[in-house]
């Protein structure tokens, strides 16, 4: 009997049919966007693998019900939607898609930085609303060149952001669980800093770390107060890295100058208070939303499943 794979979201049927040709695939019918948790829970016991989206909860209840489950392949680099500790205890492998997401996510981090600091979105909005006042000393932004970019989380995406920022003449500081080797520090011209020092000295702070118990609210009211008053915060990682209420206060009070956000504490929505703030650039979690990346992520996530059953290379994040 072919192993049974449950795919929670209706995209790239052609990719899955090709890559998972030796598997029995179940996915939402054409015209239906996604399976919900409630759709999946009653039937999950008949599947050997799940290909899940980053916002689909794979929790204790689901794992307990999934008696045959051997692998969860997450369509994302982040896997905070999965109870990895419990999956490991159940002997279920958890895999992710690190490679395809790196460059597009870094593009959005850089795009947010440029839009915010050079007021691209702001000026565009004012022009369209016929509210822009032209003039040599109006609409002044902030130059990127010569400014310090403090990157929190210097993994693949953090490094890709650093490469782009270097091209704009920025100086790179970073904080990471593990310090980079000397060769990498030299390559990125990156200076390692303790978190407090990085927060206090950076002109831009970019969050590029996964969401874990250690990074939850890593930017809170206290850290925002330590930032320079003319500094900018960029978040393309996960919303809960930032205490959003504290950020809104900081943006209102001029504690920091602006924020560029791709992710929100409220998940797939943005609170009205953020929408009302002029010193923000907000996008709807589009870090990996390119035609190319979406397809590559589908191929990568499906290949993780094929390789898991065939003994090939899997981007597995838990070890037994
Ligand atoms: C997207 O958010 C990802 O984690 O890849």
C-alpha span between 181 and 161 (Å, rounded): 18
Which residue CA neighbors atom 4 of ligand 1 most closely?
78
In short, whether 77's Cβ falls inside 6 Å of ligand 1 is yes
In short, whether 54's Cβ falls inside 6 Å of ligand 1 is yes
| C-beta neighbour count of 29 within 10 angstroms | 7
In short, whether 308's Cβ falls inside 6 Å of ligand 1 is no
- How high is the mean pLDDT of the chain? 97
pLDDT beyond 90 at 320: no
pTM of the model: 0.97
**29-78 confidence digits (pLDDT tens):** 999 999 999 999 999 999 999 999 999 999 999 999 999 999 999 999 99
**217-240 confidence digits (pLDDT tens):** 999 999 999 999 999 999 999 999
In short, whether 288's Cβ falls inside 6 Å of ligand 1 is yes
Per-residue model confidence (pLDDT) at position 273: 97
Phi first, then psi: give them for residue 217, nearest 5 degrees: 50, 40
Shortest-distance atom of ligand 1 to CA 238: 2
**119-177 confidence digits (pLDDT tens):** 999 999 999 999 999 999 999 999 999 999 999 999 999 999 999 999 999 999 999 99
Q: Give mean pLDDT, residues 262-280.
A: 96
In short, whether 78's Cβ falls inside 6 Å of ligand 1 is yes
> What separation in Å is there between the alpha carbon of 75 and the centre of ligand 1?
8
- Looking at the chain, the whole-number percentage of residues with pLDDT higher than 70 is 100
- Tell me how far the alpha carbon of residue 141 is from its chain's centroid: 27
In short, whether 287's Cβ falls inside 6 Å of ligand 1 is yes
- Tell me how far the alpha carbon of residue 144 is from its chain's centroid: 23
Task: Classify residue 34 as exposed, middle or buried by CB count within 10 Å of its CB (0-12, 13-18, 19+).
Answer: middle
Which residue CA neighbors atom 3 of ligand 1 most closely?
76
Mark 235-244 as b/e (b = at least 16 C-beta within 10 Å).
Answer: bbbbbbbbbb
Q: CA angle at residue 88 from 87 to 89, to 5 degrees?
A: 90
């Amino acid at each position: 009997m072919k192993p049974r794979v449950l795919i929670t979201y209706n995209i790239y049927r052609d990719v899955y049919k090709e890559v998972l040709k030796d598997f029995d695939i179940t996915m939402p019918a054409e015209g239906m966007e996604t399976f919900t948790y409630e759709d999946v829970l009653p039937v999950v016991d008949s599947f050997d693998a799940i290909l899940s989206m980053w916002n689909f909860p794979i929790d204790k209840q689901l794992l307990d019900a999934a008696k045959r489950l051997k692998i969860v392949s997450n369509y994302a680099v982040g896997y905070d939607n999965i109870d990895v500790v419990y999956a490991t205890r159940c002997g279920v492998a958890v895999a992710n898609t690190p490679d395809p997401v790196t460059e597009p996510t870094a593009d959005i981090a850089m795009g947010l930085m440029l839009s915010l600091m050079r007021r691209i979105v702001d000026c565009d909005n004012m022009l369209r609303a016929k509210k822009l006042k032209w003039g040599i000393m109006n609409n002044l932004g902030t130059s990127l060149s010569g400014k310090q970019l403090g990157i929190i989380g210097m993994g693949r995406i953090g490094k890709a952001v650093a490469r782009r920022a270097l091209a704009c003449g920025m100086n790179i500081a970073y904080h990471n669980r593990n310090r980079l080797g000397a060769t990498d520090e030299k390559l990125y011209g990156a200076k390692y800093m303790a978190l407090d020092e990085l927060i206090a000295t950076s002109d831009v702070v970019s969050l590029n770390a996964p969401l874990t118990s250690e990074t939850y609210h890593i930017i809170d009211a206290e850290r925002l107060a330590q930032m320079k008053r003319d500094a900018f915060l960029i978040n393309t990682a996960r919303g809960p890295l930032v205490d959003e209420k504290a950020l809104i206060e900081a943006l209102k009070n001029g504690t920091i100058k602006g924020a560029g956000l791709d992710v929100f504490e409220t998940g797939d929505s943005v609170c009205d208070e953020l929408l009302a703030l002029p010193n923000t650039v907000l996008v709807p979690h589009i870090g990996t939303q390119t035609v190319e990346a979406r397809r590559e992520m589908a191929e990568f996530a499906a290949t993780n499943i094929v390789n898991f059953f065939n003994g090939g290379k899997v981007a597995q994040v838990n070890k037994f």
